[in-house]
Amino acid sequence: MSLDHWYIYGAGGLGIETMDILQSAIRRGQQKPHHCAFIVDHPTAAEVLGFPVVAVGDHVPGAKVTIAVGEPFARKALLEKVEGLGLVLQSIFSPDAFISGYAEIADGVIVAPHVSIQATAKIGRNVAVNTASILGHDIVVEENCVVSSMVNLGGGTQVGMLSYLGMGALVKERVQIGHSSIVGMGSVVHTDIPDEVIALGNPARVVRRNEDKKVFK
């Protein structure tokens, strides 16, 4: 039987987690079997987790792809790249996540195990939502964001595009977080956060501009 191809773009930490989620979905019948592989710009290994690592340019045209890197601006750049390569952006949902049937989730979204996405939530393209995060009713997370593990977004929260929420961040209901901002690990956000800033602490306060647009340094 000929199988369709599905690439995970990135073979680092988020990449291997995402491949594991995809395999879980296949084993449990949520996804049909695929020929699965990692795709990267410059391979340094032939295999990761027993799956092939393919260089960009050696890929199968028209294959599915899910972007699995943890930097919002890198996610945006890779999204533009895969669209130019003719790959088809695809979401991956863990079978162990709860996703309301009334939520709206765009293409290319990763939903990890034990995530809860509630009714009328809206998740934009190419967003990564990591393990055990809670996204309440009526929240909006715009495209190319990263929601780290155990984040809790209260109902009606809005997160602007290209923002990063660190592990364990808590965001009060109806708070707005601007685009291209970083909320640090364990922060508690009671009030709106502007665009292009880094906010830390309890209560979260702006500490500086997000000038280099990079989370991991």
Query: What are the chain's domains?
Result: 5-90 (3.40.50.20), 94-202 (2.160.10.10)
- Decide if 114 is catalytic: no
Tokens 């055990």 belong to which residue? 132
Task: Give pTM, 2 decimals.
Answer: 0.96
CB 148 within 8 A of CB 129: no
Contacts 24+ apart (CB under 8 A), 118-122: 118/155
Q: Does the annotation flag 70 for ligand binding?
A: yes
Q: What is the pLDDT of residue 193?
A: 99
CB 61 within 8 A of CB 86: yes
* CA dihedral sign of residues 96, 101, 102, 103: positive
Q: What is the pLDDT of residue 73?
A: 98
Q: What is the pLDDT of residue 1?
A: 53
Furthest CA-CA distance within the chain: 56
Positions in the chain short of pLDDT 70: 1
Tell me the two tokens of residue 200.
Answer: 């830390």
CB atoms near residue 90 (< 10 Å): 18
User: CA 132: distance to chain centroid?
Assistant: 13
> Pick the catalytic residue: 5, 35, 42, 137?
137
